[in-house]
Amino acid sequence: MAKIAINITTGSLQQNEMIVGIDLGTTNSLVAIIHPESKKPVALKEHNSSSLVPSVIHFGNAGDLVVGNEAKQYLVSDPAHTIFSAKRLMGKTYKDLGDHTASFAYKVIDDEGSLVKVQVDDKFYSPVDLSSLILKELKTQAEHILKTTVSKAVITVPAYFNDAQRQATRDAGRLAGLDVLRIINEPTAASLAYGFGIDKEEVKTIAVYDLGGGTFDISILTINSGIFEVLSTNGDTFLGGDDLDMAIVNFWMSQNNFSGNENEVKQQLRLKAEEAKKYLSGNDIFTAEHNNQKISITKTEFEEIIQPIIEKTISCCANALKDSGLAKKEIDEVIMVGGSTRTPLVKQMVSGFFGKQVNDTVNPDEVVALGAAIQADILAGNTKDLLLLDITPLSLGLETMGGLMDVLLPRNSKIPAKAARQYTTYKDGQSGMKIAVYQGERDMVQDNRQLAAFNLSGIPAMPAGLPKVEVSFLINTDGILVVKAKELRSGIEQAIQVKPQYELTDEDVEKMLLDSMQNAEKDIAHRALVEAKTEAEQLLETTEKFIQKNITGLTAQELNETSLAMQALQLSLQMEDKNLIQTKTEELNNISRPYAERIMDTAISKSMRGESVNKF
């Protein structure tokens, strides 16, 4: 397969320019750079403090706000004004959140299908607004530590983030005063941080298991001569360490009768649960008090309640492995990313699935930001030996006649990527064409997810089949899709940057792959039927027009046989039988072909003699 060339040094960047790498996390966020002396990636922190900045925002009564550790202390004392896990809200509607809304102590607004907003008193904030506040705090802290202005950044996102979520992350950076040069996938960043690809002779296949606070990703990558190529990816944007915490909270709620507001109680217990999760990584029992009530959980109980959650990640691993076309024994390394991978049961189950010891030698909390710093160094022109090739997780295509999905970019296509295909009109004088873009793996667009639709208008009136409309898909380095449609004869053109509709939950999108496999046989049969019906309908329309224009050139017998054949074909369309439709289509073709060729020959002879052939 040909490699995709990426221009990683643009004229607008200078080699000594400071570009930071940012891991905008669900639970914690941090900034990393390439150290000017050691040339190694390092996470920024002041003195002996932690590099982690809690992704928490508190809105005070006087209109002031704080972010990070200072805000975290208000999670219990003022939960309605303290926002956490904003990343989980990125690009989501209220319907997308489903039962997860119960885990938020603050008010999430249901705005009739629009993207969710958070209400704090009489003000409303989008997830982009909230994320920008976290990014602004990271920018401020980085500038304080580095003693220089920070205006450019590389920000990481889960590999399973869709177009809307990636665009929302970029918008949040812009609002924070950052020029976001690249959005890269967290697993790719992590593999960079582990040092893979530095040795130009190294050839390795790596599985990156990334269990963060709110999202899970598994990616299979190959590294050959410094080129990172993602073979497959899978995951869940609503699965992470927060779910382990909530499993503990729900366990305690089922074991005790707590007084007070349920949301406030859950918020207080959530912090205790986070503490318990970490403690049980090295101890057998955790005990604490909540409002003079003793709460406890053993390591055995903890592992029992979180096992179903971890099994979901293992299913994703199996899907990613299948998509990559590799066997478990072909995976050379399994690297662990995200603070939740410190949980012993996680390591045990992942190791058991892949049949080898996992590699967790790099700080799982910092590894993604460190990789982002390396990517930033590449963009600054300081590192030219590495090339990153990510992929699109689902197929992208257009709706064609009969509601069929015509795939232009198959799933797991390397990005950046471009594909184009020509289409034409099916009616005489047709002046417009609807371009409907879909994402998914099923043969019928109704079973896939519509991303966008627009009309290419102004096509000059021409006979059906004569216009040539080229539709091109371009996925840029951030994984954001741009669609263009151009009528090649007239030059009429229109383009759109795809901003997806939000009719499906992440669970629905995740099920697309499974649905495509389970319905493969049915889909193939349905596609064949639709194609047969489409061909038959076009033949009926063409034949009818031909007869109307050339009725005087046909014999009574030809007209009668054609009429009967057309009726038979029309009747077969109602029978939903592909073979019958194809048979009747061929019968009509056999009847009409001889006289169509005879009339065409006559028209050509007249034309050669200089006679008018307008009637034909």
- Per-residue pLDDT tens digits for 546-592: 888 888 888 888 888 888 988 988 888 888 888 888 898 888 888 88
In the chain, % of residues over pLDDT 90: 29
Active site residue 576: no
C-alpha span between 179 and 170 (Å, rounded): 9
Q: Out of 87, 272, 347, 414, pick the active-site residue.
A: 87
Active site residue 45: no
Architecture of domain 396-515: Sandwich (2.60)
Supply the CATH classification number for the domain 521-608.
1.20.1270.10
Q: Is 213 helix (H, G, I), strand (E, B) or coil?
A: coil
Q: What is the pLDDT of residue 33?
A: 94
Q: Out of 163, 186, 236, 441, pick the active-site residue.
A: 186
Answer whether 181's CB lies under 8 Å from 153's CB: yes
Q: What is the pLDDT of residue 420?
A: 87
Q: What is the pLDDT of residue 7?
A: 27
Q: What angle do CA 189, 194, 200 make, to 5 degrees?
A: 95
Give the CA-trace dihedral at 556, 561, 563, 567, to 10 degrees: 160
Q: Which residues contact 412 (CB under 8 A, 6 or more apart)?
A: 230, 231, 232, 233, 323, 391, 392, 393
Domain 20-390 has what CATH class? alpha beta
C-alpha span between 72 and 58 (Å, rounded): 8
- Compute and round to an integer the Cα radius of gyration of the chain: 30
With a cut of 70, list the residues of the chain below it in pLDDT.
1-17, 47-48, 111-113, 197-201, 225-226, 383-391, 393, 412, 477-479, 496-518, 520, 603-616
For the chain, give every domain's residue range.
20-390, 396-515, 521-608
Active site residue 111: no
Active site residue 499: no
Single-letter amino acid code for the residue at 376: A
C-alpha span between 129 and 137 (Å, rounded): 13
C-alpha span between 207 and 269 (Å, rounded): 34
Q: What is the pLDDT of residue 332?
A: 94
Q: What is the pLDDT of residue 410?
A: 82
Which residues, in sequence order, are bridge partners of residue 313?
A: none
The Cβ of residue 560 has, within 10 Å, a number of other Cβ atoms equal to 11
Q: Out of 96, 210, 523, 531, pick the active-site residue.
A: 210
C-alpha span between 417 and 422 (Å, rounded): 18
pTM exceeds 0.75: no
Answer whether 211's CB lies under 8 Å from 228's CB: no
Q: What is the pLDDT of residue 606?
A: 60
Distances (CA, A) of 183 to 21, 113, 586: 10, 27, 53
Q: Out of 23, 360, 390, 523, pick the active-site residue.
A: 23
- Within 193-261, strands assigned E span 203-211, 216-224, 227-236
